Structure 1
Amino acid sequence: MRINKICFPAFLAFAMSHGLQSHGQAAGKTKDTLQTIFPKGQLGPAENFTGKAWALSLVADDTTYNTLVGNVYFEPGARSNWHIHPSGQMLIITEGVGYHQIKGQPRQTIRKGDVVQCPPNVMHWHGASPDTAMHQLYILPKTERGIVTWLQKVTDEEYNNGK
């Protein structure tokens, strides 16, 4: 896993100044309500998530780009199951605080502005911290190789202790 910092707040300021509207709270965010640029989307299935995670597709898969792009909003404490992407996954954290973990490695804390690269065919999970929601953009390249294989739930011990 690789986590990089980028200047995402500057990008958001640019986007907002060029007519992109916020779909989040108009003013004042709390730890569990975030100001966002995309709506929540559809509630993710309980068999793939613990807690409430909402997904919105932004770029549909096609034979030209073979790439999926979307947004996931994790409520505080929500997380994905362990899963694998055949061609890897990139995450851009756009708001909040959360966790990401590759199987066999320590859990990482991720924050607004972090970019996470999940290698191909590597088991991992991600989600919000216990008291703060998290928004992430996800990018799935080379979808002709497959999208995702969902695995078992992340246990409370794994989530809380990163083990």
Structure 2
Amino acid sequence: MEDVKTLFPIGEENIEYEKFFIGKSYLQPLAKSLPISNVTFEPGCRNNWHIHHKGGQILLVTDGRGWYQEWGQPAKELKPGDTVDIPPEVKHWHGAAKDSWFAHIAIAVPAKDTSNEWLEPVSDEEYNQLK
């Protein structure tokens, strides 16, 4: 991991949420007043399908190459400078490409009674179809 360079600190291994990820991810909170963190994924790492209830989420891609997919839609390749505005109640996943580290800033959109619902993993069959 010493050769991985990211715009923001990588942080600690994402132990709290590791059961919702395939592969290793790292989490570095960036502010105390707002839920905003740098999330770094090792190559091939992705999170499970999930839903942000109420507030939604914004992703700002800073490093590497990755993927974002909404349920029932084709996956979209992500690269530095891309943004994803995820509305509340949209089932989706995001993570690294097979051959690249990937990092994004994750901003939880503030709203009353927000929650995350973690769902099934993205299958290897689905994921391995991505180039």
Same fold (TM over 0.5): yes
Mind listing any 5+ residue stretches in structure 2 that lack a counterpart? Answer: none
CA offsets 1:32-72 (integer angstroms, 9 cap, x no match):
x23332233232433110000111222246xxxxx411110
Distance 1:48 1:60 in 2: 24
> Does residue 120 in structure 1 map to residue 88 in structure 2?
yes
> Does residue 74 in structure 1 map to residue 41 in structure 2?
yes
Q: Secondary structure of 2:73's match?
A: coil
Normalising by structure 1, we get a TM-score of 0.71
Q: Percent identity?
A: 37
Taking the TM superposition and a 5 Å limit, the aligned residue runs for 1:53-68 are 53-60=25-32, 67-68=34-35
User: Could you tell me which residue of structure 2 aligns to residue 133 of structure 1?
Assistant: 101
Taking the TM superposition and a 5 Å limit, the aligned residue runs for 1:40-51 are 40-44=11-15, 45-51=17-23
Mind listing any 5+ residue stretches in structure 1 that lack a counterpart? Answer: 1-23, 62-66
What is the CA-CA distance between 1:132 and the residue it aligns to?
A: 0.3
- May I ask how many residue pairs the two structures share in their alignment? 128
Q: Pairwise CA RMSD of aligned residues?
A: 1.9
More helix by share: 1
Normalising by structure 2, we get a TM-score of 0.87
Corresponding residue to 1:91 among 51, 56, 59: 59
Of the two, which has the highest radius of gyration? 1
